[in-house]
Amino acid sequence: MKLKENYISAVIIIIAVGASVLIFYFKNWRGPAVSPGTPPKVVLAPKGSLAEGFPSELVLDTSAAIEESYSTNYDTGLSQKTAVFSSDKSIRDLFLLYRDYFIKAGWSLTEVKINPTGNAVEFYGKKRMAELSVAITKKDTGGSKISTSYLIRNK
């Protein structure tokens, strides 16, 4: 029982430290430097498919329906892969799935934002040269909508 309490305390501390780091990072982040007149290249994936390069393991609910996916490539060496999908799972269940995935896959959980109404949660992570954001919102028709963005710095 003491081991379980220590594990829970360690997870809470890791999340708190990670959230503090992400808050500092995003408050000071100015976004990718894109020169004027150089629009990013956006490539849409076929309906129901993930954009090329989007890590399929980030769709943790295997029964989720992919609504849209695309990649955005900037001249600065920055590449963003985005996917939006629907799930029958609750926000809470999906949050726990992603939180566990972040920990097991070696991602640093850097920020967590929970809507006071409980209808949405956002969280961010970092791993080497990649960053990940996940937003989960409650759908009016039941279930949840998940939006994930995977950002890779190639330079």
Picking from 54, 73, 75, 26, the residue whose alpha carbon sits closest to that of residue 148 is 54
Rounded mean pLDDT of 62-75? 89
- Residue 155's pLDDT band (boundaries 50, 70, 90)? low
Q: What is the pLDDT of residues 2-43, one digit of tens each?
A: 666 655 655 455 654 454 544 555 555 555 555 555 788 888
Q: What is the pTM of this model?
A: 0.70
Classify residue 35: in a domain, yes or no. Answer: no
Classify residue 132: in a domain, yes or no. Answer: yes
Picking from 40, 61, 24, the residue whose alpha carbon sits closest to that of residue 148 is 61
Rounded mean pLDDT of 111-117? 88
CATH number of the domain residue 86 falls in: 3.30.310
Per DSSP, the three-state class of 20 is helix
Classify residue 36: in a domain, yes or no. Answer: no
Task: List the structure tokens of 89.
Answer: 């799972």
Picking from 150, 142, 134, the residue whose alpha carbon sits closest to that of residue 82 is 150
Query: Mean pLDDT across the chain, nearest whole number?
Result: 81
* Cα dihedral 53, 57, 59, 65 sign: positive
Task: List the structure tokens of 21.
Answer: 């780091």
Residue 115: per-residue pLDDT: 87
Domain span at 18: 2-30+41-153
In three state form, how does the secondary structure of 124-142 look?
EEEECCEEEEEEEEECCCC
Cβ-contact 132, 151 below 8 angstroms: yes
User: Based on the structure, what is the number of domains in the chain?
Assistant: 1
